[in-house]
Structure 1
Amino acid sequence: MKKIIYSFLLAPLMFLSNSCELANDLDDFQPLLSLDASKTIVDERSAESVLAGVYVGLYGTEQNQGALAYTLPDFLSGYIAQTTAFDDPINVDFATMASHNINTNNPFITTAYQSLYNVINRANWFIEGMEKITDTDFDNPERYEEFLAEAKIIRALGHYYLLRSYGQFYDVTSTYGIAVRTTPAKSDEAFPRNTVAETYTAIISDLDAGIANAPDNRSKQYANKTFAKGLKAKILLYQGQYTEAAMLAKEVIDSSPSDFSLTPAYFDIFGDLTSTEVYESSEVLFGTTPAGDSNNAFNTPVRLIGGFPLNLTSKLQDQASSSVTIGGQTITIDGTQRASALTAEVFFPGSGVFGVTKYGGFPTVEMIRHMRMAEVYLIYAEADARANSTVTPEALAALNAIRARAGATIGGDGFVEYPASITLDEFLTAVRLEKAVELFSEGGQSWFDLVRYAFVDGGFNAGFKVEDEVAVATNPDKFIFPIPFASIQVSNGNVEQNPGY
């Protein structure tokens, strides 16, 4: 096990220089990445080692830092709660998230914020260092642009995760975006927030660079062209650019290499969680693994949703077992195919503590799946229907492809495919619910869909409301997390807090 020492700024808005030691398998790479990356990156070998440090920042280290921003949204949708079986003061902070009464000093909100800016800052140092050399310094010159593209995709992902949690991502006219950083932090200077539109522009610019120059697939643990396309399709959907989102999602579905496709059997996506084969599933567009020893529970960033100190509520199973009537046909949302089969009591039978077996137990090989092909199908279904203001045969086929893969049959009542008689409103609701069940515990997609749907439907004031699904979610200001108090405090007025906090 080789070690790389990194000195970095925890967040470019307000935190002073900090350092930590991260371990990762990197063959015999052993350089020092300091704040002056231009002196560290001198050739292909050193560039690859420093780029590995960018990935290390993304998947996190001890205390599950890398997973916090990925898992916290499930509190807001009510799928995760604190573990009542344990009397632990930290559960108070978890409970405030579930109740939508979040303190700006909440340590988990702060840690997630810091961790994501750390990822962005690592990417920025790498990009600046690469700009000091040229492809002639590489043994394989084509890798120069590929390395840069990978770093830009990671930077885009960091900005996206920040925007959806700490900015009004649903409103492209809002001034409450995030502070976009495209240069490394070299002081504790605080920068004002960009607008939502400016944030999206920066994200798409980086993704376009990834689409143009990233590798096709050197491993699902590295950023690639297909993931950049999929993430861009999601960003276009969030922006309300439905025609463009549908076109790009369709391109991903139809034209990606063969190693990017729906896995025929749903359970095979997660594979043998004691084998590294889980990293190479065709379903995964991009996934990251824990730093260090994956068999060490304290180094597994997804352990938060594996049963301690959190557990799943009954909401998902209740929602999955419910049914709707469409054109006189009764349709069960899930029929326990996914929601129940991939959850289980942890610790011991009768404990009342339920975890997500998508992430295994002890020992295990973990993976955070930043995007799967199933989500691209559902992005296409929603975007195409919204773009055409009707349920096209293509949109219906995309939705039913996900249903069929999970075991749904054609016709009749029960766990069946959706019929052609489905209305637009029924279809959009079906897409939202399908995504909630298909991707539960994989990034909190259900929460962001609730917010988007409510905003598009009536601007939070009419039509479908978030509180229709989450009773405590009555204040739109609390649909996003606050900017951490520390950031506001040291910014000397340069960083504006979100409304309502």
Structure 2
Amino acid sequence: MKIKYLGLLLAGTLGMNSCSMVGDIDSIKPYYKMEGDNVVYNLESAESVLRGVYKSWRAFNVSSFRLYMSILSGTAVSKGGGLTGGQEFVTNSIQANNVALANIYQGSYLTINTANNLIKLMERGDAKGAPEKRVKEIIGECKIQRALAHFQVLRHFGYFFDLSSPYGIVLRNTPFSGTETAPRATVQQSYDFILADLNDAIANAPQNNELHYYVTKTTAKALKAKVLLHMGRYSEAETTAKEAIDDAKRNGYQLEGSFQTIFTNGYDSPEALFATYTEGPMEVASDQIARTTYSEFTKRMADMLVGTNNDGDLNTGDGYDQRFYLMFNPTLAGAQGNGKHPYSTNGTGKHNTQMLLRLGEIYFIHAEAAARNGHFDTARQSFQIMASRAGYPADYAAGIRNNQLLTAIFQHKVLELFAENGEDWFDFVRYYQAKNIAINAIKSTIKSDSQLILPLPQTALAGNNQLQQNPL
């Protein structure tokens, strides 16, 4: 069964399709105000509103921004017309009035607000006749998405790498209508809020779902491992990532046998822990991937990892990491010029799914956390699984010295997740903060710690007089 995102729409969602849509986040109205206070009145109406929360991840403001972070890190470059506001990401000189910043900030809080509205209505008992178990599951699904959206804001606009920093984010656990202002929480408070949501979801979200554009307990546990890794709580991250991998195996998730089939299968991929449903003329997301391509850094790394000193051949794959080849081979790359987005943006069938979280990433999280804990053999086991799928020998990880293992995990993870969710940028920041790489290891325009955090959008500052800008 394929879900159709029709019926009730979220307040403001239609406007999100325009690349010019900006404005302060406090202008977003609560969803239930659209039709008074009775938009949820039974289980069917609650499920319809829940689908709207999922739909918010496809909004232009959110879906189009992921590429910006790969440009920021230097693993991707703009081509053709480029991306709106993208030049400042090319030069790592982003200003507070950048339209892309306003879009992602507002889009993230739209997801948070729509989730908060539904949580309120479910906790209030508006879904008359709904089984108590399903009520708790819906709240759990909303909390996973609220946690993910807050985590997204924290990583983009907060000092996510410093638990002692006062520069966290504005936390929202109740609906807001446009009149409320609030100060930033600390980074520690921000993480505590996110973890509390995920722990609640691990207890109450659905155990599994054959439709991988829905979130489950496994999604929550995998995201928790990712959050713990960013917090530097490596022992817990290692344990939680292993639990998530084991849960995934029990609950219908598994790694694809081929890197390429992850993206041709899209939201149907068993590897997807949370993916956008994108198919047909109504269920689309703007990825803009055709406006980007690989950088020389990414190309050289794909060449170096297989041990060659000269450029490989993209027509045959010889001399290149197979993930790079499958993304950019002229035949396999498809209409968008990137094999991770193989479908036409205007087709009537399946469109390009955005992988918000997938199982392959959790293997890398487990490998990194284990390596940072000094559990090198354990780290190699998870790392080898991912390297084997990419065509590396069965003893590849065993041949990497302990003091080189973290660097190898970083490089392989960049190629694995490149042009998906900007993980290459956040990993760069984490590795730099851990003194594993130099600040300009990827891109010469990154020269200062102040460039590691995006400025809060001017529109957000204008709409919230308690909001304090990041230091320059």
C-alpha deviation, 1:17, in angstroms: 4.5
Residues 37/442 of structure 1: CA separation in 2 closer, same or farther (3 Å cut) = farther
C-alpha deviation, 1:3, in angstroms: 3.8
Residue by residue over 1:230-263, the C-alpha shift from the partner in whole angstroms, topping out at 9 and shown as x without a partner, is: 0000101111111111001111222332521222
Residue in 1 aligned with 2:445?
Answer: 472
Residue in 1 aligned with 2:402?
Answer: 423
Which segments of structure 1 move beyond 4 Å, counting only runs of 4 or more? 8-14, 35-38
Residue in 2 aligned with 1:105?
Answer: 97
Given that residues 274 and 356 in structure 2 are in contact (C-alpha distance below 8 angstroms), is that contact kept between their aligned partners in structure 1?
yes
State the AA in 2 paired with 1:228. A
Q: 2:433 aligns with which of 443, 446, 455?
A: 455
TM-score normalized with structure 1 length: 0.82
Aligned pairs for 1:150-161 (under 5 A) are: 150-161=141-152
C-alpha deviation, 1:290, in angstroms: 4.1
| SS of equivalent residue, structure 1 residue 370 | strand
Residues 465/37 of structure 1: CA separation in 2 closer, same or farther (3 Å cut) = farther
Residue in 2 aligned with 1:361?
Answer: 343
Residue in 2 aligned with 1:386?
Answer: 372
Is 1:496 the counterpart of 2:455? The answer is: no
Aligned pairs for 1:261-272 (under 5 A) are: 261-271=254-264
Q: 2:269 aligns with which of 257, 262, 281?
A: 281
Residues 468/5 of structure 1: CA separation in 2 closer, same or farther (3 Å cut) = closer
C-alpha separation in 1, matches of 2:162 and 2:411: 22
C-alpha deviation, 1:440, in angstroms: 0.8
Is 1:374 the counterpart of 2:374? The answer is: no
Residue in 2 aligned with 1:58?
Answer: 57
Gap regions ≥5 residues in structure 1: 20-31, 272-276, 326-331, 412-416, 458-462
Aligned pairs for 1:11-50 (under 5 A) are: 14-17=25-28, 33-34=32-33, 38-50=37-49
C-alpha separation in 2, matches of 1:223 and 1:70: 20
Residue by residue over 1:348-372, the C-alpha shift from the partner in whole angstroms, topping out at 9 and shown as x without a partner, is: 99xxx97322112322422111111
Residue by residue over 1:400-441, the C-alpha shift from the partner in whole angstroms, topping out at 9 and shown as x without a partner, is: 110011111135xxxxx12255123x1000111110001111
C-alpha deviation, 1:223, in angstroms: 1.1
Residue in 1 aligned with 2:313?
Answer: none
C-alpha separation in 2, matches of 1:48 and 1:300: 21
C-alpha deviation, 1:282, in angstroms: 1.6
C-alpha deviation, 1:333, in angstroms: 13
Q: Tell me how many residue pairs correspond in the alignment.
A: 445
Q: 1:485 aligns with which of 455, 458, 462?
A: 458
Residue by residue over 1:43-77, the C-alpha shift from the partner in whole angstroms, topping out at 9 and shown as x without a partner, is: 111111111111111221xxx32313433211111
Given that residues 381 and 431 in structure 1 are in contact (C-alpha distance below 8 angstroms), is that contact kept between their aligned partners in structure 2?
yes
Residues 159/56 of structure 1: CA separation in 2 closer, same or farther (3 Å cut) = same
Given that residues 366 and 382 in structure 2 are in contact (C-alpha distance below 8 angstroms), is that contact kept between their aligned partners in structure 1?
yes
C-alpha separation in 1, matches of 2:319 and 2:204: 39
Moved more, 180-189 or 157-166: 180-189
C-alpha deviation, 1:471, in angstroms: 1.3
Residue by residue over 1:169-199, the C-alpha shift from the partner in whole angstroms, topping out at 9 and shown as x without a partner, is: 1111111111011111123322111111111
Residue in 2 aligned with 1:22?
Answer: none
State the AA in 2 paired with 1:267. Q
Residue by residue over 1:75-125, the C-alpha shift from the partner in whole angstroms, topping out at 9 and shown as x without a partner, is: 111123332x34x7x65x211111111111111111111100111000011
C-alpha deviation, 1:264, in angstroms: 2.0
Is 1:400 the counterpart of 2:384? The answer is: yes
C-alpha deviation, 1:37, in angstroms: 7.4
* Percent pairwise identity: 30
Aligned pairs for 1:19-418 (under 5 A) are: 33-34=32-33, 38-60=37-59, 64-83=60-79, 85-86=80-81, 93-133=85-125, 137-218=128-209, 219-256=211-248, 257-271=250-264, 277-290=265-278, 293=281, 299-302=284-287, 304-305=288-289, 307-308=290-291, 310-323=292-305, 335-344=320-329, 355-362=337-344, 363=347, 364-388=350-374, 391=376, 393-411=377-395, 417-418=396-397
| SS of equivalent residue, structure 1 residue 430 | helix
C-alpha deviation, 1:13, in angstroms: 6.6
Residues 281/6 of structure 1: CA separation in 2 closer, same or farther (3 Å cut) = closer
C-alpha deviation, 1:8, in angstroms: 5.4
Given that residues 12 and 121 in structure 1 are in contact (C-alpha distance below 8 angstroms), is that contact kept between their aligned partners in structure 2?
no
Residues 419/217 of structure 1: CA separation in 2 closer, same or farther (3 Å cut) = same
Given that residues 241 and 363 in structure 2 are in contact (C-alpha distance below 8 angstroms), is that contact kept between their aligned partners in structure 1?
yes
| SS of equivalent residue, structure 1 residue 15 | helix
State the AA in 2 paired with 1:51. L
C-alpha separation in 2, matches of 1:204 and 1:292: 36
State the AA in 2 paired with 1:385. A
C-alpha deviation, 1:490, in angstroms: 3.4
Residue in 2 aligned with 1:328?
Answer: none
C-alpha deviation, 1:14, in angstroms: 4.7
C-alpha separation in 1, matches of 2:24 and 2:201: 26
Residues 112/435 of structure 1: CA separation in 2 closer, same or farther (3 Å cut) = same
Given that residues 9 and 52 in structure 2 are in contact (C-alpha distance below 8 angstroms), is that contact kept between their aligned partners in structure 1?
no
Given that residues 9 and 49 in structure 2 are in contact (C-alpha distance below 8 angstroms), is that contact kept between their aligned partners in structure 1?
no
Residues 322/127 of structure 1: CA separation in 2 closer, same or farther (3 Å cut) = same
Residues 242/4 of structure 1: CA separation in 2 closer, same or farther (3 Å cut) = same
Given that residues 262 and 271 in structure 2 are in contact (C-alpha distance below 8 angstroms), is that contact kept between their aligned partners in structure 1?
yes
Residues 345/96 of structure 1: CA separation in 2 closer, same or farther (3 Å cut) = farther
C-alpha deviation, 1:314, in angstroms: 3.5
Gap regions ≥5 residues in structure 2: 17-21, 308-316
Residue in 2 aligned with 1:24?
Answer: none
| SS of equivalent residue, structure 1 residue 97 | helix
Residues 279/421 of structure 1: CA separation in 2 closer, same or farther (3 Å cut) = closer
State the AA in 2 paired with 1:7. A
Residue by residue over 1:179-222, the C-alpha shift from the partner in whole angstroms, topping out at 9 and shown as x without a partner, is: 01111112332211111111101111111111111112222111
Residues 158/291 of structure 1: CA separation in 2 closer, same or farther (3 Å cut) = farther
C-alpha separation in 1, matches of 2:367 and 2:135: 36
C-alpha separation in 2, matches of 1:80 and 1:254: 33
Given that residues 228 and 236 in structure 2 are in contact (C-alpha distance below 8 angstroms), is that contact kept between their aligned partners in structure 1?
yes
Structure that is richer in strand per residue? 1
